[in-house]
């Protein structure tokens, strides 16, 4: 019941917001209430979760489409729990962040975010492949509209590119799912598929079917090119959800589908995945360095950070997988915060160019302090959440192969370079121009949003145990499962 509530409360709130319309003074409060309520119902998931068990918990099962044996089957384990929480939490921040900033078609804006939040919870808790697919694809519609209506000057191009890229991946995944359905004797249950024996050649074909869908979403090099466009043109809230949650869908898909269903193909093709991940970390790291637009810079840095996630998954040990998951959660906080920071500046100056800023610390000291926390986390500084994930992934890689770890760790320094260099150019120095001199510091609403995120980032950096302990048994179970060939 709780999972259904986590999915449907935001969606119903979204429809309600649409129904009351732009001019109603209560519209924003309904949106906030929906978001907060959506988060509150996920808290019992956290407190009631049995971390010792690797089985699916809070399971719901209803017959849905009997014609194809498709069921409304929900459940979460240690891997998906944190994403449901993260998503519901970020939604509140997005609603608050867009409170006064969005001026046209405000109701549609909030509704799109709330509906998407519900759909995303659905993706993370679906245990039926078609249900997963419906939620997975369903998120495209609100995101398409968010980028296209409230985005920047080049928004239409970005929206269409985003949609077509992700649809391309998903459609191949659909065929792979249909193949598995027939192989499994007419079952779309993901957990049944985990046990399905498949020959290596079939596994490899299916692996590529899933790979396109997930690689586009992660995004992995070389199918990442939609991301900088989409991020740059999206409104702040859109970028936040895109970076914090939507990118996680792809990586989550690898853990839920590719690794357990196709363990032999995953192992066989691991070298390719590792190579692509290292290219993402290194090549995209250099690309990030030369960006002049802050949002573009953070977008590229997301790709680079997600490279650590996929690297962790394909070194085949518990440390790597857990590191990847922690990195995902951490990236959810950090990238959300970074985009919100850029949003704060953009709302005041209406430019995202690094060159237009300089010396912001003189006029916005509170902002500069908070942003520093996030910049440090983005660089992977110890005692911030960014460090924990990257460190675990590199340790995991070390177990698998010394050279992979060496390369990943060495290139990791680029993360510090581009983030801190941007921070230096925007925040420090003398006041760059008159516009900067007139900037006002954070208001109460912005302090709340960024402050909460700063606490989360530091908490996770100093004491990551609450985050890692819920995933231990699920990850260990996954490792045991994929160690056994399915041929």
81 is a contact residue toward other proteins (CB under 8 A):
no
113, 146 in Cβ contact below 8 A? yes
Question: Which of 179, 268, 283, 421 is the binder for other proteins (CB under 8 A)?
Answer: 179
CB closer to other proteins, 149 vs 198: 149
The structure tokens listed for 128 are: 């039926």
The structure tokens listed for 159 are: 């929206």
Strand residue runs (E) in 45-172: 57-65, 70-76
61 is a contact residue toward other proteins (CB under 8 A):
no
Task: Write the interaction track for other proteins spanning residues 425-444; mark x where CB under 8 A is met and - where it is not.
Answer: --------------------
Question: Which of 84, 90, 93, 130 is the binder for other proteins (CB under 8 A)?
Answer: 130
295 is a contact residue toward other proteins (CB under 8 A):
no
d(CA 479, CA 370): 38
Question: Which of 182, 410, 433, 443 is the binder for other proteins (CB under 8 A)?
Answer: 182
* Residue 209 C-alpha from the chain's centroid: 21
Of the listed pieces 2-10, 41-49, 179-187, 439-447, which binds other proteins according to CB under 8 A? 179-187
37, 9 in Cβ contact below 8 A? yes
d(CA 91, CA 94): 5
Of the listed pieces 62-70, 227-235, 260-268, 402-410, which binds other proteins according to CB under 8 A? 62-70
35, 110 in Cβ contact below 8 A? no
178 is a contact residue toward other proteins (CB under 8 A):
yes
Question: Which of 39, 49, 83, 163 is the binder for other proteins (CB under 8 A)?
Answer: 163
d(CA 211, CA 218): 10
Number of Cβ within a 10 Å radius of residue 233: 24
Minimal distance in Å, beta carbon 203 to other proteins? 15
Residue 128 main-chain phi, psi, to 5 deg: -115, 135
| Per-residue three-class SS string for 193-235 | HHCCCCCHHHHHHHHHHHHHHHHHHCCCCCCCCHHHHHHHHCC
Of the listed pieces 39-47, 153-161, 319-327, 406-414, which binds other proteins according to CB under 8 A? 153-161
133 is a contact residue toward other proteins (CB under 8 A):
yes
CB closer to other proteins, 118 vs 237: 118
d(CA 131, CA 72): 7
The structure tokens listed for 343 are: 């949003």
155 is a contact residue toward other proteins (CB under 8 A):
yes
Of the listed pieces 157-165, 220-228, 250-258, 451-459, which binds other proteins according to CB under 8 A? 157-165
168 is a contact residue toward other proteins (CB under 8 A):
yes
Question: Which of 12, 56, 172, 349 is the binder for other proteins (CB under 8 A)?
Answer: 172
The structure tokens listed for 282 are: 């290194």
CB closer to other proteins, 123 vs 227: 123
137 is a contact residue toward other proteins (CB under 8 A):
yes
Minimal distance in Å, beta carbon 416 to other proteins? 38
CA distances to 155, 166, 330, 347, 385 from 460, in Å: 35, 31, 8, 29, 5
160 is a contact residue toward other proteins (CB under 8 A):
yes
Task: Write the interaction track for other proteins spanning residues 84-123; mark x where CB under 8 A is met and - where it is not.
Answer: ---------------------x--x---------------
388, 381 in Cβ contact below 8 A? no
68 is a contact residue toward other proteins (CB under 8 A):
yes
* Residue 254 C-alpha from the chain's centroid: 13
Q: Which residues bind other proteins (CB under 8 A)?
A: 64-68, 105, 108, 130, 133-134, 137-138, 140-141, 144-145, 148-149, 155-156, 159-160, 163-164, 167-168, 171-172, 174-175, 178-179, 181-182
């Amino acid at each position: 019941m709780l999972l259904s509530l986590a999915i449907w409360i935001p969606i119903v709130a979204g429809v309600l917001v649409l129904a009351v319309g732009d001019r109603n003074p209560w519209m924003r409060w309904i949106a906030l209430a929906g978001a907060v309520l959506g988060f509150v119902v996920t808290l019992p998931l956290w407190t009631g979760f049995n971390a010792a068990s690797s089985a699916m918990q809070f399971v719901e099962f209803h017959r849905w489409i009997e014609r194809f044996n498709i069921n409304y089957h929900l459940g979460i384990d240690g891997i998906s729990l944190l994403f449901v929480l993260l998503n519901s939490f970020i939604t509140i921040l997005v609603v608050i962040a867009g409170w006064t900033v969005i001026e046209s078609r405000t109701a549609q804006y909030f509704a799109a975010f709330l509906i998407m939040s519900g759909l995303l919870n659905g993706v993370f808790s679906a245990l039926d492949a078609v249900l997963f697919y419906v939620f997975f694809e369903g998120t495209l519609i609100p995101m398409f509209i968010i980028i296209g209506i409230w985005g920047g000057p080049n928004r239409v191009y970005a929206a269409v590119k985003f949609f077509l890229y992700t649809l391309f991946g998903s459609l191949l995944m659909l065929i792979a799912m249909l193949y598995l359905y027939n192989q499994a004797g007419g079952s779309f249950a993901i957990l049944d598929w985990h046990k399905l024996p498949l020959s290596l050649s079939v596994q490899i074909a299916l692996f590529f079917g899933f790979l396109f869908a997930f690689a586009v979403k992660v995004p992995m090099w070389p199918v990442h090119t939609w991301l900088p466009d989409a991020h740059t043109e999206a409104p702040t809230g859109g970028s936040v959800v895109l970076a914090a949650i939507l990118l996680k869908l792809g990586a989550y898909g690898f853990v839920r589908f590719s690794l357990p269903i196709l363990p032999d193909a995953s192992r066989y093709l691991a070298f390719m995945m590792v190579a692509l991940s290292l290219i993402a970390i290194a090549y995209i790291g250099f690309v990030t360095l030369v960006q002049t637009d802050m949002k573009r810079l953070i977008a590229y840095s997301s790709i680079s950070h997600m490279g650590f996630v996929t690297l962790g998954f394909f070194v085949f040990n518990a440390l790597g997988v857990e590191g990847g998951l922690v990195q995902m959660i951490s990236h959810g906080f950090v990238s959300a915060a970074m985009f919100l920071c850029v949003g704060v500046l953009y709302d005041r100056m209406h430019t995202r160019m690094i060159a237009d800023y300089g010396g912001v610390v003189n006029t916005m000291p509170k902002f500069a302090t908070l942003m520093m926390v996030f910049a440090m986390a983005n660089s992977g500084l110890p005692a911030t959440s960014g460090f924990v994930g990257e460190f675990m992934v590199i340790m995991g890689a070390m177990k698998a192969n010394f050279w992979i770890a060496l390369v990943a760790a060495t290139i990791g320094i680029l993360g510090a370079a581009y983030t801190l260099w941007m921070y230096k150019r925007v925040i420090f120095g003398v006041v760059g121009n008159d516009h900067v001199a007139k900037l006002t510091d954070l208001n109460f609403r912005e302090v709340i949003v960024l402050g909460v995120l700063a606490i989360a980032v530091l908490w996770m950096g100093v004491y990551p145990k609450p985050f890692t302990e819920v995933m231990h048994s699920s990850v260990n179970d996954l490792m045991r499962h994929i160690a056994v060939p399915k041929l």
